[in-house]
Amino acid sequence: MTTTVVSAPGKVLIAGGYLILDQKYTGLVISASSRFYAVIQDCQQPGQAGQIIVRSPQFIGAEWTYSVTIHDDGTVDVSQTSESKNKFVYYALKYTLIVASERLSSVGSARSLRDSLQHGLDIAAVGDNDFYSQQAKLRELNLPSTVASLASITPFCPQDVRLDNVNKTGMGSSAALITSVVSALLLRFKVITREEFYRPDSDARKLAHNTAQFVHCFAQGKVGSGFDVSAAVFGSQLYTRFNPVLLDGLMKGGDVSPMLPLSPALSPGGQWDYRMVPIQLPPLVRLLLADVSAGSDTPSLASKVLKWRQEKADEADALWAAIDTSNQTLATQLRHLFDLHERQSDLYASAVNRMSSAPLSEWLGGATPSERSVVQAFLDLRKTSENTRALMRQMGKAAGDDVHIEPDTQTELLDASIAQKGVICGGVPGAGGYDAIWLLVFEPNNGTSEPLSAVEKLWEQFPNVSPLLATESKDGGAKVEDIDKVPGLRAVVQIRR
């Protein structure tokens, strides 16, 4: 029995919150090492032709059954036969099947789609532990809130709640879920090949991206910026959104008309005008995330910021221009650090090793003459990040007394965190609020973990704060996996609840 597995990473938007909604601006999004997995196999029981079962075995009652009919003219009907519903799963199945049927019919291979469903399909969708708060699990196991403790928890740990009741960490689980399911289905139905999908700039990957973007927008009932899906498909990047008008015709009326083909609208190229420039964090720098158990109403924050921008356009435009300049500078400085490592890797490493255990006041003064350019580059990065933080706080205050983009409690946590030895900079991700922070910390190659340990010790003083395991993804965006090479994946897929 052939198994198709695709994973897609979560994300952290470290620059570009709110601005990323406008095509004039870009966002800097880092893909995380924590991933969502879609595992597709034939159904194990006979007589299930045309049936697709989708399961999320980490949760109670998370199983959805669908009946699929492929008509002779290539049209597709998908009906749900289970009582519980999941619109993200349903639309991912329905519209990927329609795209597959249209594209296969155009090359005379429509029958292959029906053949792919002759035994039915079983799809298991699971997420790494970081997508869900593990604070309760750590308390249950009487473990401290450290990265080492999180690493000791069983992979794909059962949540023992219904999906609607889980505490998420804001890493883009819905975008990663949809991207993994859509990509796995396109591969399973042979609409795209593994060889094509492997290439980051291939039409196969772009088709998966466009389809996942549409499904995600349709399931949410609005056309968002799309940065989370783009990061799930392509990895860390500077992202400029697509024109939302692209999906207007498909989004109207509550469902896509069978008379309106999807494939032309979602095909690579054409009107899809998003821009994606790959980027990565400099070597010996670790992304560190905190799960803060105090959620934010992100849609409410966004609506208030956009209302302010509409009512006070001149003030908002000037502030957004300043924020964008700071964000662009941040991206340029990250690239510069990467280039410094490429040119002088030993010098770069020695500077990082020294800064990792030194207070900020000694970074430059204790540097050798040859290290000063590296140290200054990190100081510049820190200064730019702090400038962006200040401008984002200014925007929150301008938008209203209750628009807490960086709330006082987060400012206290961030200021204390950034003051630790070996911490470069940090902020609140995305739209901000109370539920998370990100840091960039040194990860020296001398075998010490002093910066991480210092932050963990500090966070012990904040009862609602816990680190996450995630770092930056070294594997880029979505990728094909071997089920037996992902620890715990085969075991969790076999669970029936």
Tell me what the mean pLDDT of segment 382-388 comes to.
Answer: 99
Are 28 and 472 spatial neighbours (Cβ–Cβ below 8 Å)? no
Angstrom distance (rounded) from CA 329 to CA 140: 44
Element (H, E) at 210: helix 203-220
Tokens of 247: 């999906």
Q: How many CB atoms lie within 10 A of CB 19?
A: 20
The CA distance from 435 to 440, in Å, is: 18
Please report, for the chain, how many H helices and E strands are present, in that order. 17, 13
The strand pairing partners of 124, in sequence order, are 39, 55
Alpha helices in 279-344 (DSSP H): 298-311, 313-343
pLDDT over 80 (residue 412): yes
Phi/psi of residue 44, each to 5°? -85, -20
Q: Please state, in angstroms and rounded to a whole number, the distance separating the CA atoms of residues 381 and 14.
A: 13
Measured CA distances, 17 to 225, 240, 326, 405, 430 (Å): 10, 12, 12, 9, 5
3-state DSSP assignment of residue 230: helix
The pLDDT assigned to 484 comes to: 97
Give pLDDT, residue 139: 93
> What's the rounded Cα separation, in Å, for the pair 107 and 284?
48
Which pairing describes strands 423-427 and 436-442: parallel, antiparallel, or unpaired?
A: antiparallel
Predicted local distance difference test score (pLDDT) of residue 75: 86
Of 389, 462, 466, give the one whose Cα is nearest residue 136.
Answer: 466
Name beta bridge partners: 31: 11
Q: Which residue has the higher pLDDT, 75 or 223?
A: 223
How high is the pLDDT of residue 256? 64
Cα dihedral 282, 284, 285, 291, rounded to 10, equals 140
The residue-averaged pLDDT of 392-416 equals 95
Confidence band of 73 (pLDDT split at 50, 70, 90)? confident
Express each pLDDT in 211-247 by its tens digit. Answer: 999 999 999 999 999 999 999 999 999 999 999 999 9
Burial annotation 451-469 (CB, 10 A radius, 16+ → b, else e) = bbbbbbebbeebebbbbbb
On the question of pLDDT at 146 being above 70, the answer is: yes
Of the pLDDT bands very low, low, confident and very high (cuts 50, 70, 90), residue 294 is: low
pLDDT value at residue 121? 96
pLDDT at 106 over 90: no
Domains of the chain as residue ranges with CATH: 4-279+480-493 (3.30.230.10), 285-467 (3.30.70.890)
Q: Give residue 463's pLDDT band: very low, low, confident or very high (50, 70, 90).
A: confident
Structure tokens, 411: 């400012």
Can you give the pLDDT at residue 320? 98
Quickly list H helices, 221-297. 227-234, 248-251, 263-266
Distances in Å between the Cα of 102 and the Cα atoms of 183, 246, 284 are 16, 19, 47
Strands 479-480 and 63-70: unpaired
* Per-residue pLDDT reduced to its tens digit, 19-66: 999 999 999 999 999 999 999 999 977 668 899 999 999 999 999 999
| Residues, the chain | 497
| Confidence grade of residue 71 (pLDDT, cut at 50, 70, 90) | confident
Mean pLDDT confidence for 155-171? 93
pLDDT at 269: 79
At residue 110, the pLDDT reads 64
* Separation between Cα atoms, residue 56 and residue 176, nearest integer Å: 14
CA distance 242 to 227: 10
Assigned token pair, 455 = 């932050």
Structure-block tokens of residue 4: 């198709």
On average, the pLDDT of the chain sits at 93
pLDDT digit string, tens, across residues 418-452: 999 999 999 999 999 998 999 999 999 988 889 99
The upper half-sphere exposure of residue 166, i.e. CA atoms within 13 Å in the direction of its Cβ, equals 25
**In the predicted model, is pLDDT for residue 104 greater than 60?**
yes
Q: Tell me the whole-structure pTM to 2 decimals.
A: 0.95
- pLDDT over 90 at 187, yes or no: yes
For residues 215 and 223, what is the distance between their CA atoms, to the nearest angstrom? 10
In contact, 478 and 231? CB cutoff 8 Å: no
What's the alpha-carbon Rg for the chain, to the nearest Å? Answer: 23
What is the predicted pLDDT for the residue at 228? Answer: 98
